[in-house]
Structure 1
Amino acid sequence: MPEHTELIQRYFRAFAEANIEGAIACIHAEAVWHIDGDPSVVTVGIIRGREAVRAWLIRFPQGFRPLNFSVDRFLTDQNDVIAIGRFRHRVLPHESIVDSDFVIRFTIQDGLIIRYQIFEDTLLIAQARASAAKARTTRLNGTLYGWDDVGQGKPVIFLHGLFLDRSFWHRQLQELGNRRRCVSFDMPGHGISTWRTGLTLDGIAEDIGLWLEENNATPATIVGHSQGGMIALRLAARFPQLVDQLILVNTSAQAEPPERLPKWRKWQDALLGCDEERSAMFNDIQRLTTSAEWLASHPNEALKEHAIMMKHTPPLLSAALSAAVFERDDTRDLLADITPPVTVLSGALDQATPPTLGKEIAVSVPFGRAITINDAAHHLPAEAPEQVTKVILGDWI
């Protein structure tokens, strides 16, 4: 019934404005409020009566600081109104951010709300209340993905390169977290993210696209480094409506050059060998991907990066290597169809992906530009973090 929906909309407007008396005017004297979840969360419980609801409304800011709240649709059935939407809240006391879909069932009697029951991700809310952790996990098409989700605003999605993990972007998240919603993924086979048989770079792009659609994160700026940039290209070509812009860092649209494959096979053998072999291999990788000056001037960061590489599960990382190197196809034929703006960053000292490969992408897409950063190699987000952040913010002219 239209008048029932109008009542619920009036309640939501008052709630959003912290207008308690306006909200109470929509509520029946004998109303029941039903919120399931962890009882330590201040809003959880079952209460009856308008005054109890008034106290609940007053108490709400003690548990939550709303960032976004949207209702996508209303469904009505006689005296019931179902509101379907999504919220993004800071959960106190730690101010962890949670996103959750919700369904609220309102029952109307005598022109007022006599019953309220919300269905939401109560486990996530309880976890956020107990910890300030920004980490999240879910399964996408059967593969477990881990990510960090911080900040508020236009979404920026970070996809790291081979052998790294989501902490690779920590400098960018520190700088952008107050201005953007930043989501940094562990790519499959890295960190806590798993792998599934037959997974390819195209399959990862499909997984990330699915996550964007289902997590209210579109259109997004996609920032992809090396392998992550290859995935970003595939994502933008297949799902351009999900992408606001692409920022590609040290990446290529070509297949891996055949003359480099024997070296990769030796590295893959070492990856599946003993700890000493893996450690030596990762030392080789670091010398290839970062400048000698950076390694000498940032010994602690280099050690942390090496430790991250050593923590990966070798068989999963080996599968990721195969997909990124041996099974990677040439995507240059897709570039003309990528409609979002594309910025390609390259390090002048990059031996793994020389700047010419980035410039090739920039001149092949409809709206592209290439930027070369001097005195840096393949790991620009670590070697030149301020420059990368400026490009993401649009501050680089």
Structure 2
Amino acid sequence: MHYRVSGEGSPVVLVHGLSGSSRWWRRNLDALTRHHRVYSLDLSGYGSSRRQRALTVRDSAALIGNWLEAEQLSDVTLVGHSMGGHICIRVAAGHPQRIENLILVAASGLLKASAYRTALNLPRALVTGRKRFVPRILTDALLAGPLNLWRNARDLLKDSVQDCLPLITSRTLVVWGERDALVPLPLGQLLASSIAGARLETISHAGHVVMVDAPDEFNAAVLRFVDGPRASG
């Protein structure tokens, strides 16, 4: 698993989604690295780790959990988008002592659909997102290859995180794009209501790739949650 490190401060770990790469966080790094040490991961099979075979959601979660332990990272803010959010739910449930803040961005863990039906929503998801980002989506999908994408799509749609949600003790923020065509907003509302103390932040005019479609609003929401005043009790 390849990763990039930038900035100084408390650790923030960024986990991209299906067909993504660490480059999907490019519009967020300047804001996050001002006060945090940011680890941008390339999951096995994607980005700079594309020569490796893609792992299942559960195996990716186990790998990230082992990596956190090996690096002795603590008080981590773990941020995951789509499939990355799905993976991060399992990491937070399995390593609560390492994860202080959990930020789930359009996470796929409660999505129930066939891979075929989900694929039919891809054109609409591209249209509702930032058009200039489409070449990056297509390039990263091509680098990952159809076999990795198909394996991971089938796996994440079979893997529900419902059993993990009661085990999450981290402060949790759920971030969703109002126009998400791949993982609709009602799933974000359900996810937030299923995690004790979780907050939901909806970003209007954003689609599935929230941190790209509305980077300023996304960055502000994340930093308010991580660095802002804590609620008493």
TM bucket normalised to smaller: 0.7 to 0.9
2:207 is the alignment partner of 1:387: no
Q: What is residue 226 of structure 1 aligned with on the other side?
A: 82
The structure with more helix, counted as a fraction of residues: 2
How far off is 1:290 after superposition? 4.0
Q: What is residue 289 of structure 1 aligned with on the other side?
A: 125
- Secondary structure at the aligned position of 1:332 is classed as coil
2:92 is the alignment partner of 1:236: yes
**For residues 24-61 of structure 1, what are the alpha-carbon distances to aligned partners after superposition, in whole Å with 9 as ceiling and x for unaligned?**
xxxxxxxxxxxxxxxxxxxxxxxxxxxxxxxxxxxxxx
2:59 is the alignment partner of 1:195: no
One-letter amino acid of the counterpart of residue 389, structure 1: N
**For residues 369-393 of structure 1, what are the alpha-carbon distances to aligned partners after superposition, in whole Å with 9 as ceiling and x for unaligned?**
1111111110101001112212221
Percent of matched pairs sharing the same residue: 29
Q: What is residue 172 of structure 1 aligned with on the other side?
A: 28
**For residues 236-276 of structure 1, what are the alpha-carbon distances to aligned partners after superposition, in whole Å with 9 as ceiling and x for unaligned?**
1111111011110111432532xx33335xx5xxxxxxxxx
The structure with more strand, counted as a fraction of residues: 1
Distance 1:293 1:255 in 2: 20
Change (3 A) 1:293 1:351: closer
Find runs of 4+ consecutive structure 1 residues off by over 4 angstroms.
Answer: none
Q: What is residue 51 of structure 1 aligned with on the other side?
A: none
Q: 2:145 aligns with which of 313, 330, 343?
A: 313
One-letter amino acid of the counterpart of residue 178, structure 2: A
How far off is 1:160 after superposition? 0.8
Q: Which segment drifts farther, 160-169 or 309-318?
A: 309-318
Q: 2:13 aligns with which of 157, 176, 179?
A: 157
Q: What is residue 359 of structure 1 aligned with on the other side?
A: 189
2:93 is the alignment partner of 1:263: no
TM-score by length of 2: 0.87
TM-score by length of 1: 0.53
The within-5 A match list for 1:1-397 is 145-193=1-49, 194-195=52-53, 199-257=55-113, 260-263=114-117, 285=122, 287-292=123-128, 294-295=130-131, 298=132, 301-325=133-157, 328-394=158-224
How far off is 1:149 after superposition? 0.9
One-letter amino acid of the counterpart of residue 58, structure 2: D
Q: Is the 8 A contact 2:108 2:156 kept in 1?
A: no
User: What RMSD, in angstroms, separates the aligned Cα atoms of the two structures?
Assistant: 2.2
Higher relative contact order (CA 8 A, sep 6+): 2
